[in-house]
């Protein structure tokens, strides 16, 4: 049974409840002062606490999507990280179809009414990285009226470690767009949903790491080219945006500010403004102080020309650690960059907060991209 299976969670809860009842039942018999009864009491308490901890941990993981599988949890990610041999050019494609997912809305089995989620494998020609993605095609993509139309697209990134499935199962990006389309509040937009961890288990923070994974190249060059080659999507920066939460939010801002030729608009949901350096990232910049500064977004605002892009940042006055830096980022933004914000009175670094922000953020994104 998988880590995120409801059966696993139910089993953990049942075992915890059973051990709790067993502890109450046996406690009078273990009340004597000899070493056997003391060990029995210690064993029962320890076992009960471990099962309660496991049940709470599984529940939290199912809600927030920290880990997708047992291999992911134990650092044994099985998804391929780097591909060196693949077919490209006029006789082949750099994108491989892996299947489709039904979207959980009314008439979800009819693409022309609900849209469709394709699971694909994107294989990077320049970065030599391969990573899976979920591509949401809105209903209009399958309607005759739009048969010859090209669509705008938004790359949607999770945090680290995160799971791509959480973007449509927990954060409901496709479902939210579907509702906004019915209300005519945004234009139909293709969503390319991914985790930023394209070289698992390392947290690359969307950096082209010297002598390491070229993650920034993958997202700014390979992904856009592969998706546009396979789907009816524009290839220019004005056709593309990127948004994400937490680490994905930092990546969205950074890639748009550093590569305005790739993305014209970015949304950062509770994103930071500087890449951390820790055990999960390793040495991201190869000892280059200059490269480290160039990936510091507050430093970029002060020391580099402002790009002609649209940026939306979010935070909360209470509960968010990035609030002060978000205000500074807004204050330092210079023309021709345009900045907007969503500032909540209170909210944490979690799915509930982001679900409150996603409708307005998606509407903002959809209305800033050009078809």
Q: What is the DSSP letter of 266?
A: E
Structure tokens, 268:
């950062």
CB half-sphere exposure, 296, CA atoms < 13 A: 14
Question: Do residues 342 and 357 lie in contact, with contact meaning Cβ atoms separated by under 8 Å?
Answer: yes
According to the model, what pLDDT value does residue 39 have? 86
Angstrom distance (rounded) from CA 216 to CA 224: 12
Among 61, 126, 132, 145, CA closest to 351: 61
Structure tokens, 35:
């070493």
The 10s digit of each residue's pLDDT in 65-121 is 555 566 656 655 444 333 222 333 334 456 888 888 878 888 778 899 999 999 999
Among 170, 191, 63, CA closest to 116: 191
Helices marked H in the chain — which ranges?
Answer: 6-26, 35-64, 70-73, 111-114, 166-169, 173-182, 215-217, 223-230, 247-258, 289-294, 297-303, 323-332, 351-368
The 10s digit of each residue's pLDDT in 321-361 is 999 999 999 999 999 999 999 999 998 888 889 999 999 99
Give the three-state DSSP class for 284. Answer: coil
How confident is the prediction for the chain on average, in pLDDT?
A: 88
**Residue that is written with structure tokens 């500010």 in the block:** 257
Give the three-state DSSP class for 218. Answer: helix
Tell me the backbone φ, ψ of residue 226, rounded to 5 degrees.
-65, -45
| pLDDT class of 6 with cuts at 50, 70, 90 | confident
**Residue that is written with structure tokens 């509407």 in the block:** 363
**Residue that is written with structure tokens 């290839």 in the block:** 235
Residues pairing with 133 in the sheet:
120
The 10s digit of each residue's pLDDT in 227-264 is 999 999 999 999 999 999 999 999 999 999 999 999 99
* Cβ burial 226-263 (10 Å sphere, 16+ → b, else e): bbbebbebbeebebbbbbbbbbbbbbbbbbbbbbbebb
Tell me: pLDDT of 124 over 50. yes
**Residue that is written with structure tokens 């005759």 in the block:** 144
According to the model, what pLDDT value does residue 91 have? 40
Q: What is the DSSP letter of 165?
A: T
Question: Do residues 148 and 140 lie in contact, with contact meaning Cβ atoms separated by under 8 Å?
Answer: no
Give the three-state DSSP class for 245. Answer: strand
According to the model, what pLDDT value does residue 54 have? 84
Structure tokens, 192:
């390319």
Length of the chain (residues): 371
According to the model, what pLDDT value does residue 327 have? 95
Four-CA torsion 23, 26, 32, 35, nearest 10 degrees: -60
**Residue that is written with structure tokens 């993981």 in the block:** 61
Question: Do residues 149 and 53 lie in contact, with contact meaning Cβ atoms separated by under 8 Å?
Answer: no
């Amino acid at each position: 049974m998988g880590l995120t299976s409801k059966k696993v969670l139910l089993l953990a809860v049942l075992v915890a409840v059973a051990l709790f009842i067993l502890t109450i039942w046996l406690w009078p018999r273990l009340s004597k002062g000899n070493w056997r009864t003391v060990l029995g009491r210690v064993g029962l308490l320890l076992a009960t606490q471990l099962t309660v901890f496991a049940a709470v941990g599984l529940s939290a993981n199912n809600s927030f999507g920290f880990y997708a599988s047992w291999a992911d949890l134990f650092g044994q990610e099985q998804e391929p990280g780097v591909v060196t041999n693949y077919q490209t050019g006029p006789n082949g494609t750099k994108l491989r179809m892996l299947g489709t997912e039904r979207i959980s809305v009314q008439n979800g089995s009819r693409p022309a009414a609900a849209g469709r989620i394709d699971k694909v494998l994107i294989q990077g020609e320049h970065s030599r990285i391969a990573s899976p993605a979920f591509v949401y095609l809105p209903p209009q993509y399958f309607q005759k009226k739009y048969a010859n139309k090209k669509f705008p697209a938004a790359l949607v990134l999770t945090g680290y470690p995160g799971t791509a499935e959480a973007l449509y199962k927990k954060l409901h990006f496709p479902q939210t767009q579907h509702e906004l389309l019915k209300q005519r509040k945004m234009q139909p937009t293709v969503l390319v949903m991914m985790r930023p961890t394209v070289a698992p288990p390392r947290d690359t923070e969307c950096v082209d790491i010297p002598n390491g994974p070229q993650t920034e190249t993958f997202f700014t060059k390979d992904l856009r080219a592969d998706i546009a080659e396979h789907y009816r999507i524009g290839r220019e920066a004005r056709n593309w945006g990127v948004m994400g939460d937490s680490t994905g939010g930092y990546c969205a801002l950074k890639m748009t500010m550093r590569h305005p030729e790739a993305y014209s608009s970015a949304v950062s949901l509770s994103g930071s403004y500087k890449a951390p350096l820790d055990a999960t990232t390793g040495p991201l910049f190869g000892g280059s102080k200059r490269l480290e500064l160039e990936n510091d977004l507050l430093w970029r605002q002060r020391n580099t020309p402002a790009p002609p892009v649209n940026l939306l940042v979010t935070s909360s006055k209470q509960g968010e650690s990035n609030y002060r830096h978000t205000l500074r980022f807004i204050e330092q933004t210079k023309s021709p960059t345009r900045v907007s914000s969503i500032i909540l009175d209170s909210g944490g670094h979690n799915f509930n907060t982001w679900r409150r922000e996603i409708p307005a953020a998606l509407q903002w994104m959809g209305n800033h991209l050009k078809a």
